[in-house]
Structure 1
Amino acid sequence: MAESSKEELLQLIKRFGAHFTVKMSNLFSVVFYNLDSRTAVAIAGLAVAVIFTWRLLQSPNAVQGRQPKRRGTQASSSSVNSLADTTLTSPGVSSSSEDSRAQNVVDDFFQPVKPTLGQIVRQKLCEGRKVTCRLVGVILEESSPEDLQKQATVRSSVLEVLLEITKYCDLYLMERILDDESEKRVLLALEDAGIFTSGGLIKDKVLFCSTENGRMSFVRQLEPDWHIDTNPEIISQLARFIKYQLHVSPSRPPETNAASVFTAPSLEEFFGCI
């Protein structure tokens, strides 16, 4: 009976190891892309430790010890052993059941972990550390400087992404305005939305100008890793100078030859929040 139980344990461990190896090969292809180096090394170390332990348990010397021969009770125990062997080695039942058990254990261990928004932001921005972004049509509901003469409204759906960007990047917001009252409305709307309370963005990093060329000049001087804009002309002219750009446009804009220019209907959709 003891020999059969040990054999069953050995088979279960072998099946677990087989499923584990497949899962690890799939996991490593993803984890080293999404996680930072320290986390990846820690997971790799855990995997090595588990595999080493499995191989140690797989060793025949670790599972099968020398059993002293018992005499005198073979006749009385033969029927019990025969029944146990029949139960443990029923064809088509035991193997399938053990495979299922091992697969369930491995699947439970490798439940997919959804990346956080912060991890997505860092991945999408390609480790960029400085970002410039237009306000109208990206952060604000309004679509033109003329609209800002009446009101300024922060888009609620963009707030979470914007705050994550400020935690990781040096963010500058900018917009063309037609009067001083528009500037006050914009700053008040950003303050009421709580954008300045996160600590990553201050009012001095919200820039205003009177022309589109002025906004383009701001971007050139700041030399960001990323610029986000709705104006295709500015996107086109900055393509030679800025490493990456995001063109925010509700409709599909004309394709550009610049591989560094990405497009999305909104900032939050670019980061997969919708």
Structure 2
Amino acid sequence: MADHSKDDIFQLIKKFGAFLTLKFNNLFHNLDSRSIGAIAGLAVAILFTWRLLRSPSEPQRRQPKRETTAPSSSGPTNHSNPNQISSGVSSQDSGAQNVIDEFFQPVKPTLGQIVKQRLSEGRKVTCRLLGVILEESTPEELQKQATVRSSVLEVLLEITKYCDLYLMERVLDDESEKKVLAALEDAGIFTSGGLIKDKVLFCSTETGRTSFVRQLEPDWHIDTNPEIIHQLSRFIRYQLQIASVKPERSAGNILSSPSLEEFFGCV
């Protein structure tokens, strides 16, 4: 039984070592203050797990020796119950396995990490406002009001931390521009420091928005208009089409999602 237990422990250590190798590779790839704290935590966990794995090994070697001593036929017997011994070892092994299993639970990435991964390290992003950032979907609606979608704010602010973001939209008059800028300012988009009012661009035609994108040459463009998406597919590395229904046909560099926040897994 001792050899069998040693083999099990060896396998657990081997499994845990492979896990640590993977985690250390990931941590050193994106090393920051949180990663350093995670490394320290893993070091403590290694010591704790090693001690936990070693603790049952000594009793397991001694217990079979006690069972070989046969008592006299007279008087009370002091045999150890084999079932109790087996249960104790199994419980200790189970505790060690539980510790390791906790480390094997997938670590949920932060929204910032998801944004960087999904955008493939893209550094410049252009995005239309209507139907993506704003609740309104037509320029005519902007003449009455402009409302920032609350569910998109967190994602938008994370994008501004990692990317050079430009917002753009077709409007029918100057008042619409003022309403849009006021709505963005009230939502706190300009206070993070990643986006300024000069990077919110307005035009009077859809062709004007296409020209903006061509001139800025972003890594990503986000839009709701399938025609613009199609026209830009030859010039822009990646595009995200916001559409309630997934397009049947699209180029390999065009992705789709019902909303910007859903693309980053925030819904």
2:106 maps to 1:112: yes
Normalising by structure 2, we get a TM-score of 0.77
Superposition pairs of residues 89-100 of structure 1, within 5 angstroms: 92-100=86-94
Letter in 2 for 1:260: N
Choose which of 138, 142, 146 in structure 2 pairs with 1:144: 138
Match of 2:173 in 1: 179
2:170 maps to 1:170: no
Choose which of 226, 245, 248 in structure 2 pairs with 1:251: 245
Contact kept, 8 Å, 2:19 with 2:104, in 1: the verdict is no
Alpha-carbon shift at residue 146 of structure 1 (Å): 1.2
The whole-number CA distance in structure 1 between the counterparts of 2:238 and 2:21 is: 28
Alpha-carbon shift at residue 224 of structure 1 (Å): 0.5
2:259 maps to 1:271: no
Alpha-carbon shift at residue 166 of structure 1 (Å): 0.5
1:194 counterpart SS class:
coil
Please identify, of 95-104 and 203-212, the stretch whose mean Cα deviation from structure 2 is larger. Answer: 95-104
Q: Please list the CA deviations of residues 91-145 of structure 1 after superposition, one character each: whole Å capped at 9, or x if unmatched.
A: 7534532331221121234443211111111111111111000000000000111
Match of 2:236 in 1: 242
The whole-number CA distance in structure 2 between the counterparts of 1:120 and 1:233 is: 28
2:15 maps to 1:22: yes
Identity of aligned residues (%): 64
Alpha-carbon shift at residue 150 of structure 1 (Å): 1.0
Alpha-carbon shift at residue 228 of structure 1 (Å): 0.2
Alpha-carbon shift at residue 233 of structure 1 (Å): 0.5
Choose which of 208, 211, 218 in structure 1 pairs with 2:212: 218
1:250 counterpart SS class:
coil
Superposition pairs of residues 40-189 of structure 1, within 5 angstroms: 50=46, 86=80, 92-189=86-183
Unaligned runs of 5+ in 2: 59-68, 72-76
Alpha-carbon shift at residue 252 of structure 1 (Å): 2.4
The whole-number CA distance in structure 2 between the counterparts of 1:19 and 1:223 is: 51
The whole-number CA distance in structure 2 between the counterparts of 1:30 and 1:259 is: 32
Number of equivalences: 243
Letter in 1 for 2:261: E
Match of 2:254 in 1: 261
